[in-house]
Amino acid sequence: MTAQTLNDLLSAGVRGRTVLIRSDLNVPLDGSTVTDDGRIRASLPAIKELADAGAKVIVMAHLGRPKGEPDPTFSLAPVAARMSELLRAEVALADDVTGSSARQKAAALAEGEVLLVENVRFDARETSKDAAERQELAKEMAALAGADGAYVGDAFGAVHRAHASVADIASLLPAYQGPLVATELEVLTRLTESPERPYVVVLGGSKVSDKLAVIDNLLEKADTLLIGGGMLFTFLKAQGHEVGSSLLEEDQLDTVKGYLERSGKGAATIVLPTDIVMASGFAKDAEHEVLPVDALASGTHGDKAMGLDIGPATAQAYAAEVAGAKTVFWNGPMGVFEFPAFAEGTRAVAQGLTEATAAGGLSVVGGGDSAAAVRTLGFEDGQFGHISTGGGASLEYLEGKELPGVSALSGGKA
């Protein structure tokens, strides 16, 4: 069954109706300041369309990982403030998820007004493994919308979670797929079913274990896999290199050797760095030097040296490989980009993606740290074909897994 879309809902008419929309507002904070509002900006078009059409809009979202109870550290108050600035209209914030504050503010909403309820993960039932508990919370959420309410799922970053506000509620109200989710699925379908070639995948981040299934799947779909980030040291170790005190997952060495063997027998070509920026420790001002991969423990700091970025020769090679691709998917930074001294590998890959885009290719930045990196390093969103709002969801889709929040929108209440 094909999901109904936001346009279907707008065509049916929303004036005077209460519409619950699950958005992805899980943004980084520095105290009470939003440091990257990319997800807020991406979520606002659907919210504004509903408000402009006369709906009473109730937005649900999570922030961080509170432990099922209110925690001021994870309050959505800074998000409500930023939404108000961007919408140039007040976005009220309820003090709870479905309690007295949410009920009172929902009942008082006028046409075109927007209410954000507090972090849905302040209620332990949101993420409960007990389906009955999640359903109980979902019923309370649906009650906020009333008899003529509707639900829009637009939080792609959460669709891989079987949570109350993502999946359960879709069976209780007429459910519609938001534009963010629709766009993400369209792009990911192109990556998995009909990629233009050459198709290059860049994988970074800290751990191989986080990306086992996606590597396994993409070995049969992509042409080239470029490996960076902390996970590269497990690959280098599997090839027999010493890696100093760099991040290493000993328990994944056999798995990685299997990937390298498959690559050698005709699967996607796995490309590993030829040089690494090795540092005296994990610090912004750590002493560092560039060493070839066959001599990582032979430098100034010996076997205590820690790799924090791919080296300049590797960065140049990776950027060239990416720039020449017709399809590129990138998930995970190449190094500790938050430290300027170790950001050049990530910057080079990002630049390569912009060149692939300029040449007419499809470049996809796979959410999470990769999206944060390109913005931190000064790139504009428009320089890339698509910046995903959901890193984990993107990876699970590319692994071939079913996404509960997507399935729920296809089989929700009519």
Determine whether the annotation assigns residue 17 to a binding site.
Answer: no
Q: CA angle at residue 400 from 36 to 347, to 5 degrees? A: 35
Determine whether the annotation assigns residue 39 to a binding site.
Answer: yes
Report the distance separating Cα 63 and Cα 25, nearest Å: 7
Catalytic member of 153, 204, 345, 392: 392
Determine whether the annotation assigns residue 26 to a binding site.
Answer: yes
Examine the residue annotation and report whether 392 is marked as an active-site residue of this protein. yes
Kind and range of the H or E element at 131? helix 131-145
Determine whether the annotation assigns residue 366 to a binding site.
Answer: no
Examine the residue annotation and report whether 17 is marked as an active-site residue of this protein. no
Determine whether the annotation assigns residue 103 to a binding site.
Answer: no
Report the distance separating Cα 249 and Cα 177, nearest Å: 39
Catalytic member of 17, 22, 39, 82: 39
Report the distance separating Cα 299 and Cα 99, nearest Å: 60
Examine the residue annotation and report whether 39 is marked as an active-site residue of this protein. yes
Determine whether the annotation assigns residue 64 to a binding site.
Answer: yes
Q: What is the 3-state secondary structure (H, E, C) of 177-242?
A: ECHHHHHHHHHHHHHHHCCCCCEEEEECCCCHHHHHHHHHHHCCCCCEEEECCCCHHHHHHHCCCC
Examine the residue annotation and report whether 382 is marked as an active-site residue of this protein. no
Report the distance separating Cα 3 and Cα 21, nearest Å: 15
Determine whether the annotation assigns residue 82 to a binding site.
Answer: no
Catalytic member of 299, 361, 368, 405: 368
Determine whether the annotation assigns residue 62 to a binding site.
Answer: yes
Determine whether the annotation assigns residue 30 to a binding site.
Answer: no
Q: CA angle at residue 401 from 374 to 203, to 5 degrees? A: 30
Determine whether the annotation assigns residue 367 to a binding site.
Answer: yes
Determine whether the annotation assigns residue 381 to a binding site.
Answer: no
Report the distance separating Cα 397 and Cα 272, nearest Å: 25
Catalytic member of 41, 139, 190, 207: 207
Q: Tokens standing for 255?
A: 């798995």
Annotated binding site: 24-26, 39, 62-65, 121, 161, 211, 307, 338, 367-370
Annotated binding site for ATP: 211, 307, 338, 367-370
Annotated binding site for (2R)-3-phosphoglycerate: 39, 121, 161
Residues known to be catalytic: 39, 207, 368, 392
Annotated binding site for substrate: 24-26, 39, 62-65, 121, 161
